[in-house]
Amino acid sequence: MTTRYLNGRIFTADPDPANAWAEAFVTDGETIVYVGSAQDAPDTDETVDLGGRLVLPGFTDAHTHLLMTGAALGQVPLTAATSLEQIQEALRSARAADPDASVLRGRGWLFDSVPGGAPTAAMIDAVVPDVPVYLDANDYHSCWVNAAALAELGITRDTPDPLGGRIVRDADGEPTGLLLETAATQYAWAHRDEITSDADRDADVERVIEAYLATGVTGVVDMAFDQFGLAAFERAQERRGGELPIRVAAHWLVTNTGDDEANLAQVARAAELAQQASSPWLRVVGIKLILDGVIDACTAAMRHPYADGTNAEPIWPVEQLHPVVVAADAAGLQIAQHAIGDRASDIALDALEHAVAVNGERARRHRIEHLEYAAPGTAERMARLGVTASMQPVHSDPAIFDNWAQMLGDERVDRAFAWPEYEAAGALLAFSTDAPTAPYESLANMYIASTRASALDRSVPATHPQYALPLASAIGHATRDAAASVGDGDWRGRIAPGFAADVIVLDADPFADGPSSLLETRIVETIVAGRSRYRAPAENR
Ligand SMILES: [Zn+2]
């Protein structure tokens, strides 16, 4: 079946700006076979009139967490609440809407919205006392719970703080209901994972697929895949006769057990999974290593201390990191290293250089995740080593930037999220959202990338507007380069002959109307492999 799409404003994301625009394209089944003028377009079985609308290559979210995002989409959204009253009202109505639920989960609350930045169990108990309530903070580094949840988790005044976390307590030593870092993960999240069923995960998968297609995302890269994610997506694929409506690539999470043999066994498992890729829709392409934490909590590893004089040690000591990186590189796996601080990115690049020295020169495309603060020269070193910079415009949203800046508190703040440096150095720059730590919507991400203004709160002025990218560059990094970040740069992410027919149609043209229109722009249709996978409700068409 051949289809020609005529009368559009087609942004091709061709690396050569001279070929960035076309008015027509033709698909043959799953593949684009022609891009150019309407006049020269070949005859086809079917013709679609685009009505002058803007068409882009489908977005690839090059770093996301699919199951967590799907779960978050099923929880009470609290990011927009600006006061305790609004949070309580949202919880009260969610409880009333689902009186049979045995637990209530919310997500995305901001410390600024809670009196004194000090949430307590009593604040939740005032509206929902009868079932356990778990509320994940916007940055997913803390969890706010009520008394029923503390009881369910068995947390009392006698419970010790876990290593790397804190059970916040009041003056009398009683837990207040706020769990920080590993206190959240080892208690609240571990309990949640225990009681989550396959049916829950299947629902999460369906929610996240639907949400991504509706925001024009045709490919995703899960950046911490595990056995539960893999099994859930395999089931989703089976339900659809061996395919998915969105392209899923995944990096297998390898955690530092402190034991080389156990670490290498995880790499071997990833290599085995990469070999037996069940379909082009669902692939394990590499491993993920988390080298440090985040600047907001002073847990990112820095060359120089934070404003308060502290610093953080990397999560992977070099002597444990190197064997893992060498083994993964030798197995042909793509290595993605989470490095937010400049010391962590130094360690990541040292490890990759070491792998090249041990394994020899050959084609490889490794990547570093986040790079929120990287020292001068890092971009150039990455370009030299062919390492992709995987960055998240949504994490630079000015509405959440103040705390970040205060933690560093010096001239380093001026180099936050310095995307143009990677462009200038010639490194591959791939954009993503890291959902659910930030909103997953593609056009809001492009708004921040092309303005450095806030998509969360439009009253907040832009920060570092000098780092805003032209819209065409921003979209190129989120389509063409994001696909290339998992080695797909020669077959998807652009509207070009021979490429996958993964395209989206928009209801407005932010190139003509200016980037500020991105927050009002909607996706009209999402096409993956030549087939329509999402259409906006009729009123938007
Ligand atoms: Zn992530």
* Same-domain pairing of 153 and 181: yes
How far, in Å, from the CA of 513 to the mean position of ligand 1? 32
pTM of the predicted structure, to 2 decimals: 0.92
How far, in Å, from the CA of 353 to the mean position of ligand 1? 24
Helix (H) or strand (E) holding 222: strand 217-225
* Same-domain pairing of 93 and 183: yes
How far, in Å, from the CA of 144 to the mean position of ligand 1? 21
Question: Does 112 reside within a domain?
Answer: yes
**Domain extent at residue 33:** 2-58+502-540
Q: Using CA atoms, how far apart are residues 159 and 141, in angstroms rounded to an integer?
A: 20
How far, in Å, from the CA of 138 to the mean position of ligand 1? 13
Question: Does 53 reside within a domain?
Answer: yes
* Same-domain pairing of 107 and 147: yes
CB 494 within 8 A of CB 12: yes
How far, in Å, from the CA of 38 to the mean position of ligand 1? 42
How far, in Å, from the CA of 61 to the mean position of ligand 1? 11
Select from 195, 220, 247 the last residue of a domain.
195
How far, in Å, from the CA of 65 to the mean position of ligand 1? 6
How far, in Å, from the CA of 301 to the mean position of ligand 1? 17
How far, in Å, from the CA of 507 to the mean position of ligand 1? 30
* Same-domain pairing of 112 and 155: yes
How far, in Å, from the CA of 93 to the mean position of ligand 1? 31
How far, in Å, from the CA of 410 to the mean position of ligand 1? 26
* Same-domain pairing of 187 and 152: yes
How far, in Å, from the CA of 259 to the mean position of ligand 1? 24
Instruction: Using a CB cutoff of 5 Å, list residues around ligand 1, an ion.
Output: 223, 434
Question: Does 247 reside within a domain?
Answer: no
| pLDDT of the residue at 140 | 83
Q: Using CA atoms, how far apart are residues 344 and 530, in angstroms rounded to an integer?
A: 41
* Same-domain pairing of 151 and 51: no
* Same-domain pairing of 80 and 149: yes
Question: Does 127 reside within a domain?
Answer: yes
Select from 145, 170, 195 the last residue of a domain.
195
* Same-domain pairing of 8 and 99: no
How far, in Å, from the CA of 497 to the mean position of ligand 1? 33
CATH code of 30's domain: 2.30.40.10
How far, in Å, from the CA of 17 to the mean position of ligand 1? 31
How far, in Å, from the CA of 151 to the mean position of ligand 1? 30
How far, in Å, from the CA of 433 to the mean position of ligand 1? 8
Question: Does 190 reside within a domain?
Answer: yes
Question: Does 343 reside within a domain?
Answer: no
CB 25 within 8 A of CB 496: no
How far, in Å, from the CA of 223 to the mean position of ligand 1? 6
Number of domains in the chain: 2
Question: Does 342 reside within a domain?
Answer: no
How far, in Å, from the CA of 63 to the mean position of ligand 1? 6
How far, in Å, from the CA of 434 to the mean position of ligand 1? 5
How far, in Å, from the CA of 104 to the mean position of ligand 1? 24
Can you read off the two tokens belonging to residue 493? 């992410």
* Same-domain pairing of 43 and 101: no
How far, in Å, from the CA of 224 to the mean position of ligand 1? 7
How far, in Å, from the CA of 85 to the mean position of ligand 1? 31
| pLDDT of the residue at 278 | 64
How far, in Å, from the CA of 37 to the mean position of ligand 1? 41
Q: Using CA atoms, how far apart are residues 133 and 153, in angstroms rounded to an integer?
A: 11
How far, in Å, from the CA of 49 to the mean position of ligand 1? 39
Within the chain, what is the greatest distance between any pair of CA atoms? Answer: 79
Select from 195, 222, 244 the last residue of a domain.
195
CB 468 within 8 A of CB 462: yes
Question: Does 394 reside within a domain?
Answer: no
Q: Using CA atoms, how far apart are residues 531 and 524, in angstroms rounded to an integer?
A: 14
How far, in Å, from the CA of 220 to the mean position of ligand 1? 12
Can you read off the two tokens belonging to residue 519? 């927050």
* Same-domain pairing of 186 and 82: yes
* Same-domain pairing of 191 and 89: yes
How far, in Å, from the CA of 296 to the mean position of ligand 1? 15
Going residue by residue through the chain (541 aa), what tens digit of pLDDT does each one get?
Answer: 999 999 999 999 999 999 999 999 999 999 999 999 999 999 999 999 999 999 999 999 999 999 999 999 999 999 889 999 999 999 999 999 999 999 999 999 988 899 988 999 999 999 999 999 999 998 788 999 999 999 999 999 999 998 878 999 999 999 999 999 889 999 999 999 899 999 999 999 999 999 999 999 999 999 999 999 999 999 999 999 999 999 999 999 999 999 999 999 999 999 999 998 768 899 999 999 999 988 988 889 999 999 999 999 998 999 999 999 999 999 999 999 999 999 999 999 999 999 999 999 989 999 999 999 999 999 999 999 999 999 999 999 999 898 899 999 999 999 999 999 999 999 999 999 999 989 999 999 999 999 999 998 889 999 999 999 999 999 999 999 999 999 999 999 999 999 999 999 999 999 999 999 999 999 999 999 999 999 998 755 4
| pLDDT of the residue at 182 | 86
How far, in Å, from the CA of 372 to the mean position of ligand 1? 13
CATH code of 145's domain: 3.10.310.70
How far, in Å, from the CA of 305 to the mean position of ligand 1? 24
3-state SS string for 58-123: CEEEEEECHHHHHHHHCCEECCCCCCHHHHHHHHHHHHHHCCCCCCEEEEEECHHHCHHHCCCHHH
What residue type is 359 in one-letter code? N
* Same-domain pairing of 115 and 177: yes
